[in-house]
Amino acid sequence: MAQRVLITAGAAGIGKEIASAYAAIGAKVCICDINQKALDEAAREIPGLKTIFCDVSKRDEIEQMVAEAAATLDGLDVLVNNAGISGETAPVEASDSDQWEAVIKVDVIGTFHVTRCAIPHLKKSAAGSIIVMSSLGGRFGYPNRSAYCTAKMGLIGFAKTLSRELGQYNIRVNAIAPGAVAGDRIERVLQGRASAERKTVDEARAATMSLQSLKQFVDPKDIAALILFLTSGSGKSISGQVLPIDNDAQTSA
């Protein structure tokens, strides 16, 4: 039976790579996103993809989205909690309180509500699996990135707690912790870091690479491949884990 997969923030970037990878192996895939144009483009590019507009900072939209996704897919086997925002790059004392709280609302509270709504459907699966998207920032603190690191560290605790709660229903839960991932997002992060630290973007990039044994950004396709492995039969004995995919970085973006 084809896996039934829901991916949040699946219309672009890492989320779109994950959706494409699942579709390529014959899974039934539904994505949600806040960008309707990107949803439409993804639907044209990925055969059979189902799409739903949803702002994961809004509980009522989440509840409607998960119910619609489960109905569209005729159940749910895999939930990939990919939605998240980075917030500003600024020291704590100079942080914008509204932006700080927005990161927590999307990254942590949004993930909580999506998961809460998905659990009853996952319990009906013979092999339910949840992926929580943390970050290298969930393992290390970064200067000037307090909201992001707080959210990503909190998501690790959430994933580990879920694994203990849901194991009795044969639902596996794992967090993954990417390092600096190739794409537009890391370029914005580097620009913000350079500004906060009064460096050039090239200097910020060099500082990031200096902390990695493999001198390249992570390929989003590799993140998708890791998630497919974890949620497949090959990963049936893996739960409650945090798996880095970071080019052996000690601290990074």
| Residues taking part in catalysis | 148
Q: CA 106 from chain center: how many Å?
A: 11
Phi, psi of 88 (to 5 degrees): -80, 165
Q: For 68, how many CA atoms within 13 A lie in the half-sphere containing its CB?
A: 14
C-alpha–C-alpha distance, residues 240 and 164, integer Å: 7
Distances (CA, A) of 45 to 6, 20, 48, 164: 17, 9, 9, 38
DSSP assignment of 79-145 equals EEE--------B-GGG--HHHHHHHIIIIIIIHHHHHHHHHHHHTTSSSEEEEEE--GGGTS--TTB
Contact 32, 117 (CB under 8 A): no
C-alpha–C-alpha distance, residues 34 and 135, integer Å: 21
- Helical ranges in the chain per DSSP H: 13-24, 36-45, 59-73, 97-103, 111-122, 146-166, 184-197, 201-210, 220-230
Kindly state the tokens that stand for 31.
């994505």
Give the position of tokens 């000690």: 250
DSSP state of 218: B
Rg for the chain (alpha carbons), in Å? 18
